[in-house]
Chain A
């Protein structure tokens, strides 16, 4: 079953294209470059 999305008040299962777009959006999110350097004394 594909994920459920909400568009305004309408909640429904993703279409095939929306699912592909959603997967592409998630995949496009490159790893976040976290710098854990402490900036406080």
Chain B
């Protein structure tokens, strides 16, 4: 009996104490239970049958690391991803955050706008930062980055956009950004690194947008 999960609740035939092993079939009992368990595992772990944001990976950031690489973040099941890094701090304030995807080491472009918490002036940036993406600035008290990335696994140019905010004793800022790389390489991982110094703490969440 194929499992009905996640469409509806399965109705199993429970054996009673005097039943023989062939009625109900002992092997069928196990096969049905195994099918249902596998369907639940596929649903929970892989998002099978779900639509919407699916949490694919969670990575706690260590102490005073110069970069954090998250492997196996992208796969063929998703084209669109949301990466959130929140709660960490940088060793220095108002330092550029850099991001790389897979082994791509050239062809990154970034632009955006940020604003200090104590200024009405918006500052635009247009960075032909060849070897990295530049999604904003680190904070030395708190920071949060939300980075939407399109087609990192697909053999296709990759784009990104998002927003960031920091609490920083040098310059608390927040902003939005647009990212693009001309590379079409298929990538499974990404890395975040401050332009100088280190990162400590916080969590990186990787979500996939699943249509079906």
A37 at the interface (CB under 8 A from B): yes
> Secondary structure of the A side of the interface?
mixed
- Tell me whether B69 and A34 are in contact (CB under 8 A): no
A35 at the interface (CB under 8 A from B): yes
Contacting B at CB under 8 A, from A1-41, are: 3-9, 11, 14, 21-22, 24-30, 32-40
Among A5, A8, A27, A32, which residue has its beta carbon within 8 angstroms of that of B67?
Answer: A5
Contacting A at CB under 8 A, from B82-101, are: 96, 98, 100
Contacting A at CB under 8 A, from B31-83, are: 59-71
Known contacts being A14-B66, A28-B105, A28-B131, is A22 close to B125, with CB within 8 Å? no
In the complex, the number of residue pairs spanning A and B with C-beta atoms less than 8 Å apart equals 96
B127 at the interface (CB under 8 A from A): yes
Which residues of A sit under 8 angstroms from B59, Cβ to Cβ?
Answer: 8-9
A21 to B106, CA, bound (A): 12
B4 at the interface (CB under 8 A from A): no
Among B68, B71, B120, B124, which residue has its beta carbon within 8 angstroms of that of A37?
Answer: B124
For the complex of A and B, the 10 pairs showing the least CB-CB separation, nearest first, are A28-B131, A3-B66, A6-B65, A32-B127, A7-B69, A35-B124, A11-B62, A6-B68, A29-B129, A39-B122
